[in-house]
Amino acid sequence: MLSGPFLDRNWMGQNKDYNSADIVMLGLPFDGTVSYRPGSRFAPEQIRLASWGLEDYSPVFDKHLQDVNFHDAGDLEFPAGNTCGSLELTEKNVEQIYRSGKRVFGIGGEHLVTLPEIKAAAKFHKDLAVVHFDAHADLREEYLGEKMSHAAVIRHISKIVKPENIKQIGIRSGLKEEFKFMEKHGMLISEFSGLDALRGKKIFVTVDLDVLDPSVMPGTGTPEAGGFDFNTLVDWFVYLKDFDIIGCDVVELAPDYDASGVSTAAAAKVIRELLMVM
Amino acid sequence: MLSGPFLDRNWMGQNKDYNSADIVMLGLPFDGTVSYRPGSRFAPEQIRLASWGLEDYSPVFDKHLQDVNFHDAGDLEFPAGNTCGSLELTEKNVEQIYRSGKRVFGIGGEHLVTLPEIKAAAKFHKDLAVVHFDAHADLREEYLGEKMSHAAVIRHISKIVKPENIKQIGIRSGLKEEFKFMEKHGMLISEFSGLDALRGKKIFVTVDLDVLDPSVMPGTGTPEAGGFDFNTLVDWFVYLKDFDIIGCDVVELAPDYDASGVSTAAAAKVIRELLMVM
Amino acid sequence: MLSGPFLDRNWMGQNKDYNSADIVMLGLPFDGTVSYRPGSRFAPEQIRLASWGLEDYSPVFDKHLQDVNFHDAGDLEFPAGNTCGSLELTEKNVEQIYRSGKRVFGIGGEHLVTLPEIKAAAKFHKDLAVVHFDAHADLREEYLGEKMSHAAVIRHISKIVKPENIKQIGIRSGLKEEFKFMEKHGMLISEFSGLDALRGKKIFVTVDLDVLDPSVMPGTGTPEAGGFDFNTLVDWFVYLKDFDIIGCDVVELAPDYDASGVSTAAAAKVIRELLMVM
Amino acid sequence: MLSGPFLDRNWMGQNKDYNSADIVMLGLPFDGTVSYRPGSRFAPEQIRLASWGLEDYSPVFDKHLQDVNFHDAGDLEFPAGNTCGSLELTEKNVEQIYRSGKRVFGIGGEHLVTLPEIKAAAKFHKDLAVVHFDAHADLREEYLGEKMSHAAVIRHISKIVKPENIKQIGIRSGLKEEFKFMEKHGMLISEFSGLDALRGKKIFVTVDLDVLDPSVMPGTGTPEAGGFDFNTLVDWFVYLKDFDIIGCDVVELAPDYDASGVSTAAAAKVIRELLMVM
Amino acid sequence: MLSGPFLDRNWMGQNKDYNSADIVMLGLPFDGTVSYRPGSRFAPEQIRLASWGLEDYSPVFDKHLQDVNFHDAGDLEFPAGNTCGSLELTEKNVEQIYRSGKRVFGIGGEHLVTLPEIKAAAKFHKDLAVVHFDAHADLREEYLGEKMSHAAVIRHISKIVKPENIKQIGIRSGLKEEFKFMEKHGMLISEFSGLDALRGKKIFVTVDLDVLDPSVMPGTGTPEAGGFDFNTLVDWFVYLKDFDIIGCDVVELAPDYDASGVSTAAAAKVIRELLMVM
Amino acid sequence: MLSGPFLDRNWMGQNKDYNSADIVMLGLPFDGTVSYRPGSRFAPEQIRLASWGLEDYSPVFDKHLQDVNFHDAGDLEFPAGNTCGSLELTEKNVEQIYRSGKRVFGIGGEHLVTLPEIKAAAKFHKDLAVVHFDAHADLREEYLGEKMSHAAVIRHISKIVKPENIKQIGIRSGLKEEFKFMEKHGMLISEFSGLDALRGKKIFVTVDLDVLDPSVMPGTGTPEAGGFDFNTLVDWFVYLKDFDIIGCDVVELAPDYDASGVSTAAAAKVIRELLMVM
């Protein structure tokens, strides 16, 4: 064998050993139902590379990535053009993670991947709640006639986790009916205290990166002006520190629309900070 | 004929019928006097395409684009390299819109197109006022010896609409003399209440997109750091809701400097929100 | 109504009237099965805009676009994420074109759209043959388990048009089995005379733009080095002038990978020259 | 004063002294009449910077740039938006160059700048001929009603230098009338020997960079597929070595469409090789 | 000689005469130790060109650039790949500036160039203090085994200027040890009043442009999300107006990662405003 | 453990087992001495990702990558900013490869990495010869005073392998002295037969990707117009098939200058074809 040393090609700061890790990071390079600009399938690998441009220490959380004890399991290989098969594969692997007593950290791919993650989590955690960062409500019943769409993912999830246990943050785009649905169920919150209703529950945090303003995150499929700056998002994470988080994902980076690389770098930092919260 | 269905290639949510529409959207693809980075001639068509990436519902105004009742008339065809002829053509068409009792919504092109719009509007509305969003004062007497320049457009307009009836918002660049001129006439305002002097008047709102920070709007000819974020601009629009707006335009997007597409998407959303105000 | 004049937003040189046209140009913005870099759904509209950067006169064919007598029918609106429905819609509309005694000119979208075009053409032309320009053989039985894939389109077509009546030009990538299949059926040709076997037949010409070298056509989903330069492709078109062409398509431009705009401009010129051949 | 050393910010290999130089390089950053994609005004400075990425030795001509004895005079400052004034300023300065017994090397800017260069040259050289490399014939009488257009520049010149003394190389786009005009006067040549008719005359060589294929030169205003590769252009230069060249220009680089920088680097090398010919 | 006029190719608003100038602007195109994305060597020239897109009047400081009386001395020519030699050359030239009683304004290049500037300044100003704007602490003892690194520049400086006289603003990335070092010495400040301890001292202000958020400044080597917006930075400059500033530099623009040009334009404006402070 | 399946993140078609492999592919992400546009350090990983966009079958060589039996060992981790240490690390690892009886395939990084590869190879192969594809002669004694430079790499190698045993192909840029040196030693060849002198020797093939024309390979540090098209390079590879090749490398891709991705895709294909030759 060669003496090297070789560059580590996995996520910075990971625990190389699956078995002893508390959290398993799983790449989910699927973008089959994207309505506008596709390409989030390339995100997990490009974020992994960009992670090495960060420090492993977070001054906000005064913690190192090594303290988080997560394992980078790599990216699932999906059957191309097969939405159903891709979702099932995701569900099966996430189930295995929960069965072994670990927590999951998914890296999309498009937002629809959150559905099988939640399905798997719900089998192990009865009192599940969801915290949803996004520009879009994702509460449609269908999108152009298709039920399985990233624009409908939270609506699907609301049949597994009751709407009152889903809190949405940053939503600024949707149909009028989606806003009415949110209002009816008290889903949309704009202050930290809106999260307090979920204390004591098992929480899955799903971050659609387009919750950030397109100036911060140009590399995404459906950029929607008027979003959060980076620190606002991190402030929410800081508040979540005391909650019982059993899973997270970060989705919808589209690296091909990120000529300057700043979106990918920001996505990597979102993930680092969110790992610190778990 | 073919049964289709075919993609609608006009602005999302328009009324297809000119006659029954209240507002006429008119593309003005002219950039003949641009001093620095040209290309705003390509804006009206690219914004039109990007409009389909938005929802037709605005949660800020709780209204659909269909409620606005506007008609997308297409883009004027200008005589290339002929500034005079282009301005006259604009004036003539805008006059026709006002003569039929409708209101105008111009899509530039460069800022000089606002001059013929105002000329036409002034023939029908004696008590005209102007609300001007911009990074640049545009109050020069001339630019490098040329009187007809986008850097002089508001100075020209100040001979039609008296300076006291022009309110400028977001200006952060100009000659010392331009800032003195603004000061002398009380033109530059930084609080909503600065608009109250215009209540009861007929208002034309002109938005140079570089009023937004270059992070939000990189695709413009003369990016000037230190501008508004998107929501600040929309807050001004919300305040304008009670005013009597008889015309608007949105100018100076340069799509060729917008590699990521976020500027064009933001321009489309500025237009959607401003339509809601009318 | 407004006096304008307005910019023509259809293909340069078209006949505005469907009924009197000989050829119908049909935009097919579908890219649902793309394996690598998606985005050809944006091609028909961007090519249309770029057509105005060309002259309507071709010195190679000494002819004007107006002489071709084609009508730009616009772009079909497909059900998002529904491959089957999209292909059926294409087939239905192309059938209508052939039923009215006209010929079709499809603008992709991905290569799979050629399948329903051929299906429709085969209903009206018994002695159908296909001329296929491409970097890739597209002769797979399936791709990652999916039968309906742009990598399998010619294999599907070979069940409608017998392989001996399909001539492939420019192929430089494929599985070993695909090259064997081509060899067995004498499909791959490299000299003009290879086309002579098709004389007297009704010919459908399908051009996957990646037959051009990636230097000429960077904006495509699966760039494959070692392709044709532009004039080589046109030389083939010149040879095809005497053949009986009843349909054409040009597919696989991905404008989002075409920062400089040269791919889109070249695609428009490919279409102009191919229209001249019909 | 500071001891430095400082980077030389002029063209690599120039003679710093105007008086002792044989050739004067003059930047002409004008793009006021451009019909499609503007921005050639930025070319002279960006080419100057890119010249330092080349060697000063040309293996093709076995000569150093220093042997050419040229002086980089800088870029003229034009009155913005004033076509007439810009052309007059160019003519006046080029006249001064010829009056002092030197030869001119213009760097555009758009192609219209060649007209005042030729006007000035014609005052000093009665037996003037022109060698014109371009994709476009540039022989229109007018363009969209304007006589002063880069699409008409050679037609204007044909009133100063008789058409028979203009030889055009690489033309692949134009109106039918332009091709007829070229044919009538024997202007379009495709073999080196076509130049022999100009032996003994004083020759001005004008190179519109879009004579190169868009793959080689994406950064230009009106990319036209099917052009020369770089070495083909240089072969023509080699043939021109024995002719009596009294002026040259290289025009129509648009650096803002040259994301990778290869167009600007190629433009600098075209200039280096053409300087070697003089 | 030619009558011109010629474009001024130096910084807008400079005093052409070195001797009568109060401040000397010195380009330092060095990026030899950059760990991630290199290219800041191209910054001084591209910023110089972009300066002409600004006005010479600053409304914030109500002053013209001409009032500042600075001379643009050009860019040093460094021995490629020789870190030591480059730093010595910088130190020598900056010394000459201070010896002649002037102040220095350095344009990087990477951040390591600040070290020789400080070394030179310290020879003339005993009571030296440093104000450091940056995303990164730059307080490492070494970086991957190398002592001379831009990630260690402030640590090196802390051996010349005692840590208590260094105030750091905007730092959001570093090793835990770096944050402890800052804490121990009271270096990191977040309010204007934190600067008051430096009143009466001679101050060198060093601005690493990545202190700005990557949305504002994508064109930099190590983009770090969560930074300042432009106006926040200028507010700090306004507070610094009453301090005794004897030198400044602005470093780490990487123009090749700035496709839209907004980073370079923002860098030029940062420099204009900081010049106003001196 | 998870059942996956997971995406393979190594080079397509590799043998996972180092011991049983015949050829070892070694990433060498070093670009410390680059004179113009840096960034080749990012090449090995981006090429690896792009390899999956190719087929594993080469129709030119009628062979699969699996038949080549190569192992992807990953990328060495170099001490940043330490040229000497990086070269030594390369030499040591390449030596280990040769000691175990295998052959090496290096992926740069800049061209200087070839020097330690040759040093290592020379210890095991007395009768070593070099085939060098490049735009630049790389025969300088030094570059701006530095001996260790990618512009001097072949000169250094000529002290290990005598110049007569080095054959250079595609060179079109250099100092006059470099061209004289090549001429004196018969190094520069332009026909296949020029290689015949090396028959029977152990050959190391080094490919600087800028031997390809910048239209084919824009993503490189020093683009030099007038290069090979892709098929010309592959034709040379075909001729090399009968030679005894004991090592190869492919260097100087700079992915950050490859917005469209075509350079990286072409680099991956160059490597696939060159692997077929070994």
Cβ-Cβ contacts under 8 Å, B175 against chain E = 55, 57
Q: Do D258 and C260 touch (CB under 8 A)?
A: yes
Q: Do D37 and B33 touch (CB under 8 A)?
A: no
Nearest to A223 among B55, B265, B270 (CB): B265
Using the Cβ of D213 and the Cβ atoms of chain F, whether some distance falls under 8 Å is answered with: yes
* Distance in angstroms (rounded) separating the CA atoms of residues E163 and E178: 12
| Summary mean pLDDT of chain E | 95
Q: 3-state DSSP helix/strand/coil percent for chain F, to nearest 5?
A: 40, 20, 40
**What single-letter DSSP state applies at residue C83?**
H
pLDDT at C49 exceeding the cut of 80: yes
Which pLDDT score, from 0 to 100, does residue A71 have? Answer: 98
Q: Which of B69, C30, A96 is nearest to F6 (CA)?
A: A96
Q: Do A213 and E218 touch (CB under 8 A)?
A: no
Residues spanned by the domain of F51: 23-277
Which pLDDT score, from 0 to 100, does residue E159 have? Answer: 97
Neighbours of B99 (CB within 10 A): 11
Nearest to E173 among A55, A229, A266 (CB): A55
* Distance in angstroms (rounded) separating the CA atoms of residues D117 and D204: 9
* Distance in angstroms (rounded) separating the CA atoms of residues D62 and F172: 12
Query: Given a contact as 3+ CB pairs under 8 Å, which chains touch F?
Result: A, C, D, E
Amino acid making up residue F188: L
Q: Describe the crossing of helices B83-99 and B114-124 by its angle, rounded to 10 degrees.
A: 30
Q: How confident is the model at residue A38 (pLDDT cuts 50, 70, 90)?
A: confident
Which pLDDT score, from 0 to 100, does residue F35 have? Answer: 63
Structural domain count of chain D: 1
User: How many Cβ pairs closer than 8 A exist between chain A and F?
Assistant: 68
If you average pLDDT over residues F175-194, what whole number do you get?
98
Q: Could you identify the residue written with the tokens 């209903």?
A: C123
Mutate to test the interface with D, among C51, C260, C269 (most CBs of D within 10 A): C260
Mutate to test the interface with D, among E1, E2, E99 (most CBs of D within 10 A): E2
- B124-167 per-position pLDDT tens digit: 999 999 999 999 999 998 877 778 888 899 999 999 999 999 99
The 3-state secondary structure of chain A reads: CCCCCECCCCCCCCCCCCCCCCEEEEEECCCCCCCCCCCHHHHHHHHHHHHHHCCCEECCCCEEHHHHCEEEEEEECCCCCCHHHHHHHHHHHHHHHHHCCCEEEEEECCHHHHHHHHHHHHHHCCCEEEEEECCECCCCCCECCECCCHHHHHHHHCCCCCHHHEEEECCCECCHHHHHHHHHHCCEECCHHHHHHHCCCEEEEEEEHHHECCCCCCCECCCCCCCECHHHHHHHHHHHCCCEEEEEEEECECHHHCCCCHHHHHHHHHHHHHHHHC
* Distance in angstroms (rounded) separating the CA atoms of residues D190 and D211: 13
User: How many Cβ pairs closer than 8 A exist between chain D and E?
Assistant: 68
Q: Do D2 and E18 touch (CB under 8 A)?
A: yes
In a domain, B9, yes or no: no
If you average pLDDT over residues F81-93, what whole number do you get?
92
**What single-letter DSSP state applies at residue C204?**
E
Using the Cβ of D219 and the Cβ atoms of chain C, whether some distance falls under 8 Å is answered with: yes
**What single-letter DSSP state applies at residue B221?**
S
Q: Containing H/E element for D169? A: strand D166-169
* Distance in angstroms (rounded) separating the CA atoms of residues B212 and B269: 13
Query: Given a contact as 3+ CB pairs under 8 Å, which chains touch A?
Result: B, C, E, F
Q: How confident is the model at residue A79 (pLDDT cuts 50, 70, 90)?
A: confident
Burial C190-209 (b: 16+ CB within 10 A, else e): eeeebbeebeebbbbbbbbb
Residue F48 tokens read as 């690896």
In a domain, E18, yes or no: no
Cβ-Cβ contacts under 8 Å, C232 against chain D = none
If you average pLDDT over residues A131-138, what whole number do you get?
98
If you average pLDDT over residues F94-98, what whole number do you get?
98
* Distance in angstroms (rounded) separating the CA atoms of residues A276 and C108: 46
Give chain D's residues under pLDDT 70.
Answer: 35-36
* Distance in angstroms (rounded) separating the CA atoms of residues A222 and F61: 44
Are D48 and D262 contacting, i.e. CB atoms less than 8 angstroms apart? no
Burial B106-137 (b: 16+ CB within 10 A, else e): bbbbbbbbbbbbbbbbbebbeebbbbbbbbbb
Using the Cβ of D5 and the Cβ atoms of chain F, whether some distance falls under 8 Å is answered with: no
If you average pLDDT over residues F261-267, what whole number do you get?
96
Residue A91 tokens read as 């569900």
Nearest to A261 among E175, E216, E223 (CB): E223
In a domain, F196, yes or no: yes
Asked if the bond preceding F38 is cis, omega within 30° of 0, the reply is no
Q: Containing H/E element for F123? A: helix F114-124
**E strands of E166-262, at which residues?**
166-169, 188-189, 202-208, 244-251
Give, in order, the Cα–Cα distances in Å from D257 to each of A146, C65, D43, D211. 39, 28, 11, 16
Nearest to F146 among E39, E80, E145 (CB): E80
**What single-letter DSSP state applies at residue B261?**
S
In a domain, E10, yes or no: no
| Summary mean pLDDT of chain A | 95
Q: Do D214 and C213 touch (CB under 8 A)?
A: no
In C, minimum Cα distance to B261 occurs at C256
- E209-243 per-position pLDDT tens digit: 999 999 999 999 999 999 999 999 999 999 999 99
Distance from CA of C150 to the nearest CA of A (A): 11
In a domain, C206, yes or no: yes
Q: How confident is the model at residue F80 (pLDDT cuts 50, 70, 90)?
A: confident
3-class SS at E105? strand
In E, minimum Cα distance to F30 occurs at E35
Give, in order, the Cα–Cα distances in Å from C36 to each of A30, A40, C221, D121. 12, 12, 6, 56
Are A213 and B216 contacting, i.e. CB atoms less than 8 angstroms apart? yes
Half-sphere CA count of F149, side-chain side, radius 13 A: 21
If you average pLDDT over residues F6-35, what whole number do you get?
93
Burial C106-116 (b: 16+ CB within 10 A, else e): bbbbbbbbbbb
Q: What's CA B170's distance to the chain center, in Å?
A: 14
Q: Which of F129, F83, F133 is nearest to F109 (CA)?
A: F83
**CATH number, position A270:** 3.40.800.10
In a domain, D16, yes or no: no
- C242-265 per-position pLDDT tens digit: 999 999 999 999 998 888 899 999
Are D41 and E53 contacting, i.e. CB atoms less than 8 angstroms apart? no
Distance from CA of B45 to the nearest CA of C (A): 9
In a domain, F18, yes or no: no
Give, in order, the Cα–Cα distances in Å from E135 to each of C30, E28, E220, E252. 44, 21, 11, 11
Distance from CA of F80 to the nearest CA of A (A): 12
Q: Do A74 and F6 touch (CB under 8 A)?
A: yes
Which pLDDT score, from 0 to 100, does residue A36 have? Answer: 65
If you average pLDDT over residues F204-215, what whole number do you get?
98
* Distance in angstroms (rounded) separating the CA atoms of residues F169 and F232: 11
If you average pLDDT over residues F104-124, what whole number do you get?
97
Q: Do D269 and F224 touch (CB under 8 A)?
A: yes
Burial (CB < 10 A; 0-12, 13-18, 19+), residue F184, is exposed
pLDDT at C144 exceeding the cut of 80: no
Distance from CA of D39 to the nearest CA of E (A): 14
* Distance in angstroms (rounded) separating the CA atoms of residues F55 and C165: 26
Distance from CA of D115 to the nearest CA of E (A): 18
**E strands of F1-141, at which residues?**
23-28, 57-58, 63-64, 70-75, 103-108, 128-133
Using the Cβ of A38 and the Cβ atoms of chain B, whether some distance falls under 8 Å is answered with: no
Mutate to test the interface with E, among B35, B176, B263 (most CBs of E within 10 A): B176
* Distance in angstroms (rounded) separating the CA atoms of residues D21 and D44: 20
- The angle formed by the CA atoms of residues A50, A53 and A57, to the nearest 5 degrees, is 115
Name residue E202's beta-bridge partners: E128, E244
- E15-29 per-position pLDDT tens digit: 999 999 999 999 999
Residues C17-22: contacts with CB within 8 Å, 24+ apart? C17/C71, C18/B1, C18/B2, C18/C71, C18/C73, C20/C69, C21/C69, C21/C70, C21/C71, C21/C102, C22/C68, C22/C69, C22/C70, C22/C102, C22/C103
Distance from CA of F239 to the nearest CA of E (A): 38
Which residues of chain C from 229 to 258 reach within 8 Å of chain D, CB to CB?
229-231, 234
Q: Do D144 and B79 touch (CB under 8 A)?
A: yes
Using the Cβ of B215 and the Cβ atoms of chain E, whether some distance falls under 8 Å is answered with: yes
**What single-letter DSSP state applies at residue E143?**
B
Q: Which residues does E68 contact at the CB level (< 8 Å), separation at least 6? A: E13, E22, E23, E275, E276, E278
Q: Describe the crossing of helices B230-240 and B262-277 by its angle, rounded to 10 degrees.
A: 10
Amino acid making up residue A50: A
Q: Which residue has the higher pLDDT, B80 or A229?
A: A229
Query: Given a contact as 3+ CB pairs under 8 Å, which chains touch B?
Result: A, C, D, E
User: How many Cβ pairs closer than 8 A exist between chain A and B?
Assistant: 61
Q: Do E18 and D3 touch (CB under 8 A)?
A: no
Mutate to test the interface with D, among B42, B82, B89, B256 (most CBs of D within 10 A): B256
Residue A76 tokens read as 């699932």
Using the Cβ of B62 and the Cβ atoms of chain A, whether some distance falls under 8 Å is answered with: yes
Give chain B's residues under pLDDT 50.
Answer: none
Residue E77 tokens read as 């020519």
Distance from CA of A165 to the nearest CA of F (A): 30
Nearest to C57 among D37, D176, D222 (CB): D176
| Summary mean pLDDT of chain F | 95
- C70-114 per-position pLDDT tens digit: 999 999 999 877 889 999 999 999 999 999 999 999 999 999 999
- E103-161 per-position pLDDT tens digit: 999 999 999 999 999 999 999 999 999 999 999 999 998 877 778 888 899 999 999 99
In C, minimum Cα distance to D221 occurs at C53
In B, minimum Cα distance to D145 occurs at B79
In F, minimum Cα distance to C222 occurs at F53
Q: Which of A74, A86, A139, A71 is nearest to A116 (CA)?
A: A86
Q: 3-state DSSP helix/strand/coil percent for chain E, to nearest 5?
A: 40, 20, 40
Q: Strands A57-58 and A63-64, how do they pair?
A: antiparallel
Distance from CA of E256 to the nearest CA of B (A): 14
Are E132 and D41 contacting, i.e. CB atoms less than 8 angstroms apart? no
Using the Cβ of F5 and the Cβ atoms of chain C, whether some distance falls under 8 Å is answered with: no
In a domain, C14, yes or no: no
pLDDT at F36 exceeding the cut of 70: no
* Distance in angstroms (rounded) separating the CA atoms of residues B216 and B213: 5
Residue F188 tokens read as 């520069």
Using the Cβ of E262 and the Cβ atoms of chain D, whether some distance falls under 8 Å is answered with: no
